[in-house]
A and B are shown apart, each in its own frame.
Chain A
Amino acid sequence: MSSVGTPMLRKEDPKLLTGEGKYVDDIQVAGQLWMGMVRSPYAHATINSVDASAAAEAPGVHAVYTATDLLGMGLWIGPLPCAWPVTPDMVNPPHFPVADGEVHHVGEIVAVVLADDRYRAADAAELVVVDYEPLPVVASVADAVADASMVHSSLESNKAYHWPLIPDPDALEAAFANATHHVDASFVQQRMIPSAMEPRGVLAVPSPHGGDITLYSATQVPHILKVMVAATTGIPESKIRVIAPAVGGGFGAKLNVNPDELLAVTLANKLGRPVRWTETRSEAAFSTHQGRGQNQRIELAADGDGKLLGVRVHLDADMGAYMMLITPGVPLLGSFLYTGVYAVPAFGFTCDGWFTNLTPTDAYRGAGRPEASYAIERAMDILASKVGIGPDEIRRRNYLAGGEHFENLDVPSTLTFDSGHYGPSLDRALELAGYGDLRAEQQARRDGGSTKQLGIGMCTYVEICGLAPSRALGGLGYGAGGWEHATVRMLPTGKVEVVSGSTPHGQGHETSWSQIVADKLGVDPADVEVLHSDTAISPLGLDTYGSRSLAVGGVAIANACDKVVEKAKLIAAHSMEASADDMEFDGGMFSVAGSPDKAMAIQEIAFGAFTAHDLPDGMEPNLQEQTTWDPPNFAFPFGTHVAVVEIDEDTGNVELQNYIAVDDCGVQVNPMIVAGQVHGGIAQGVGQALWEGANYDEDGNCTNPSFMDYLVPSPTEMPNFTLDFTVTPSTSNPLGVKGVGEAGTIGSAAAVINAVCDGLSPYGVTDIEMPATPQRVWRAIQDGKGGAS
């Protein structure tokens, strides 16, 4: 019986749900010192002086280091890394773990206290006196574009880079010249504060015998972190071990290389004592990168029937104060998707990256792709109303391949989509939503003068998963490859040990990988142990982000299993005195074709490979194989989401009443895990649409840094989602899998805001800024009523 495709309960959960999971903060070591950060309250200021004398005398304090002290100690041989210089001339001001004479965002570290516990560290940090000279603040992209004052005093412009993707400029010009309908829309992708359940944390432990250091980090990327720590500190890579223990969510915010990690490693190394830090929630709004932060302009050119002729996009993207690991590349991850699921003859995209005196931005669930999906899907609704047809019809008229099944299709943004079949996804979503009845009820409410308007919104998204073909990353200027490594070894007892370079932080890899291995080797999933997230155990890997784990890491494991079976087959043939060509393998048993009574279990062969008493001549003992899978192409999952909202005209409140998602992530390994990813993803996208958004005042202070003001939706706010799936196997890998970690987020913000705008259309409202708060919606209604009278 196949394990792949069954909703097996997660192996990880008993431990996690009973509090037995060990997170960084749970790991206690003798002699540890806590870091307490002194952070800038100014978004931009010169540091005149730092007086740490009182803090140094405070009880329990081991040492206080000012930024000047630290920069003078030779701890770092280079600044924090940016692995994605998107253009050769990209501006990238040096970014050290502590501010060098000038602070550039609220929360930048200006001094570090080391104390016996975190309470004393926090108390002493308050005693450090810093004399700041405030400088003009660039508190928004609009401020940055104005270029009146500089984010860093050393800059001549706040613009970091200009990145164009215009495959055929003449064709693009012609498309707009020939258009009957022209949509010109601007949207704001507000800054999002990633809010993983577990905050970030770090513990650096020098080994008692000297020379080696173990870094425990709440990270998505232990392997990348290891390389980057080596490159930044000069500590040889071979001396660094990075362990990501249980990690409580990341959503992109844990794929960075952060000041706190580099401080902990180097101070622990210097002092010979363990050094640790756990982020508080209040710090998280300043000390962890944020997501989104784009001002988008999208133009559509269409003929009289609403058939797209061209799409033109410009982004002004908010980098924040510094380039973090992939800050500049995030908008580019979306650049290829601004034509969405549609056949578009001409395409042009430009992005200007701008510095601001705000916390740096970087990847956040979907990273560039939700932004792209939002822009094109909002614009398609506007086009539909210009043409005078429904949002479903405008989509049908423009789907790639006419909504029919396709494979390996070139799209104008220069990519080749692996496979797609968009028509059935829309059909099914509308059917599950009861679309016809909803429209009838909507009309009845409007006719009856109801103050509770119904809004129905849809979105057909496509996204890029399986990051990534290493050559493609090279072409984009990214500083690493996109392969993944796997080792599969059968142990003498017949159990299977899998070593994966993919690093889970909640996704359930141990379960999914066990299912793949169970089918490939014909063993019980319970007999598969998955090792990961420790660079000493799993030395090769490129970690978890961009919905890549299954389509890259999972495929690597499957391929390694195939190699194990190939070797086992040779041993089986040798033992059974048959030709390897005549061997059959099914359900974990090797047999000779035509003689079903003669069979050997793979466990038996594994033991034989271990004893090595009777192996074919020249064969190495043990049953262990490894592979590195570098995918030939990305994978392109897709789906259609439908949101139904009720809008209270009197209060402006938007209630999400129903949500239907029909996703296609190719072949599914564990449908329960898939559904879980879709659920969480939807909630996160709905969060952006209706609740969340970091708000800044003109001085660059975040005015809603706590969970009291930064509203992350809870289950109470979510309706029961209706999920369904279509299955269009990927052509990019032998498993036919695509990836689903970000899909929900990529489809949901657009669907919800399309629903809100649909519901508000009787008031003449055509757009609403995210998050669509009650006050914003109420005001839009008032403005609409005023405009109508």
Chain B
Amino acid sequence: MIPASFEYVEAASADAAIAALTEHGDEAKLLAGGHSLIPLMRFRLATPGVLVDIGRLDDLSYINDGGDHIAIGALTRHRALETSDMLAAEAPLLRHVASQVGDPQVRHRGTLGGSLAHGDPASDLPAALLAMGGSVVAKGPGGERVITADDFFTGFLETALGEDELLTEIRIPKAGGAGWSYQKFNRRAQDWAIVGAAVQLGANPGVALVNMGPAPMRAGGVEAAIASGSSAADAAAVAAAGTEPPVDLNGDEAYRAHLARVLVERGLIEAQT
């Protein structure tokens, strides 16, 4: 529980943060809310040489109407998401999922960008981004690029972000009143999901799974089944297809596969009503 020693750099701007990343290479890690990184450091599972603190970049904390989408600054705290009227109207799934992260202390510190950039398959928010067909903006020394959620999560705690890139904005297409649901199965309110399912219906239905593989993932088979008009039960039956769930004290593969089917079915039914 005592981290190894590290250097600490407070970034004054996004560009300064990118410059620090460029200078220190893979020795550096960005510190936002710290709720994923600091526990890893305390277990000495992560031992970055340099921490670049972007937690005070207030200009990256916003929720704006971007026309066909909602633009959210990467350093927007979960607490701001779960209390946002704009999200209630235009992206209610994201707002609700944010309210299910950890406990109030976590939600006051944790940031949307930090959670997504960590790429944890057990996290809630990546599933929301996937189900809603969102994208992120990455800024590096060469400028900005937009990465879709589908391309963003590449492996266990791995994303498409480059070593010298900073995630600056998240873009969520307006939901347009589409039905939605988030089914999180955990043992205590503040825990990670043992399995979770995020569902958003509408023109481009999205179903994403939490903790069912090495990376946050969509349930492609379920989405295809819905598109072809299958019932919730029939669509949910293929929820575990292609998944590689982890095995731990909370559940083995068979139990998690079962939970995925149960939760997706519940999510589809709730989203339809």
Contact = CB atoms under 8 A, between A and B. Distances in A.
Contact of A704 (B249, B258, B262): B249
Contact of B188 (A122, A703, A711): A711
Contacts of A595: none
B5 A119 contact: yes
Nearest to B190: A714
A709 B191 CA distance: 9
A651 B2 contact: no
B194 to A, nearest CB: 8
Interface in B35-57: 39, 43-44
A640 B258 CA distance: 38
B32 to A, nearest CB: 20
Given A282-B43, A650-B262, A122 B189 contact: no
B81 to A, nearest CB: 21
A775 B255 contact: yes
Given A119-B2, A123-B5, A704-B249, A714 B188 contact: yes
A716 B1 contact: no
Contact of A651 (B188, B252, B262): B262
Contacts of A283: 1
B259 interface: yes
B255 A778 contact: yes
Nearest to B185: A651
Nearest to B189: A716
Nearest to B44: A126
A281 B190 contact: no
Contacts of B188: 691, 711, 713-714, 716-717
A774 interface: yes
A653 B188 CA distance: 11
A210 B262 CA distance: 70
A588 to B, nearest CB: 48
B251 interface: yes
A775 B252 contact: yes
Interface in A651-701: 651, 653, 691, 695
A704 B187 CA distance: 15
Interface residues of B, number: 24
B41 to A, nearest CB: 12
B86 interface: no
A709 B249 contact: yes
B241 interface: no
B9 to A, nearest CB: 19
Contacts of A714: 188-190
A703 B249 contact: yes
Interface in A238-295: 280-283
A475 to B, nearest CB: 42
B211 to A, nearest CB: 13
B4 interface: yes
Interface string B232-273: 000000000000000011111001001100100000000000
A280 B1 CA distance: 6
A281 B1 contact: yes
A135 to B, nearest CB: 27
Nearest to A713: B188
A44 B80 CA distance: 51
Contacts of A704: 249
A773 interface: yes
A122 B5 CA distance: 10
B259 A651 contact: yes
B191 A711 contact: yes
B29 to A, nearest CB: 19
Interface in B17-37: none
Interface string A105-122: 000000000000011001
B185 to A, nearest CB: 6
Most buried by B among A706, A709, A775: A775
Contact of B250 (A650, A713, A775): A775
Nearest to A279: B1
Contact of B251 (A282, A691, A716, A775): A775
Contacts of B192: 708
Interface string A427-446: 00000000000000000000
A126 B188 CA distance: 34
A779 interface: yes
A717 B189 contact: yes
A582 B189 CA distance: 66
B21 to A, nearest CB: 25
Given A775-B255, A778-B255, A122 B2 contact: yes
A126 B4 CA distance: 10
Contacts of A708: 39, 192
Interface string A2-27: 00000000000000000000000000
Contacts of A282: 1, 43
Contact of A778 (B1, B191, B258): B258
Given A119-B5, A775-B251, A779-B255, A711 B189 contact: no
Interface string A739-782: 00000000000000000000000000000000001110011000
Nearest to A650: B262
Contacts of A123: 4-5
Contact of A695 (B1, B189, B249): B249
Interface string B162-196: 00000000000000000000000101111110100
A716 B188 CA distance: 8
A773 B39 CA distance: 25
Contacts of B194: 774
A408 B35 CA distance: 57
A186 to B, nearest CB: 22
Nearest to B252: A775
Interface in A84-126: 118-119, 122-123, 126
Q: Considering the complex of A and B, which 6 residue pairs feature the smallest CB-CB distances, nearest first?
A: A280-B1, A122-B2, A716-B189, A650-B262, A775-B255, A282-B1
13 contacts: A122-B2, A126-B4, A651-B185, A651-B259, A651-B262, A709-B248, A709-B249, A711-B187, A714-B188, A714-B190, A773-B249, A774-B194, A775-B250
Interface of A: 118-119, 122-123, 126, 280-283, 650-651, 653, 691, 695, 703-704, 706, 708-709, 711, 713-714, 716-717, 773-775, 778-779
Given A123-B4, A704-B249, 18 more contacts: A119-B2, A119-B5, A282-B43, A653-B185, A695-B249, A703-B249, A708-B192, A709-B248, A711-B191, A714-B188, A716-B188, A716-B189, A716-B190, A773-B187, A774-B250, A775-B251, A775-B255, A778-B258
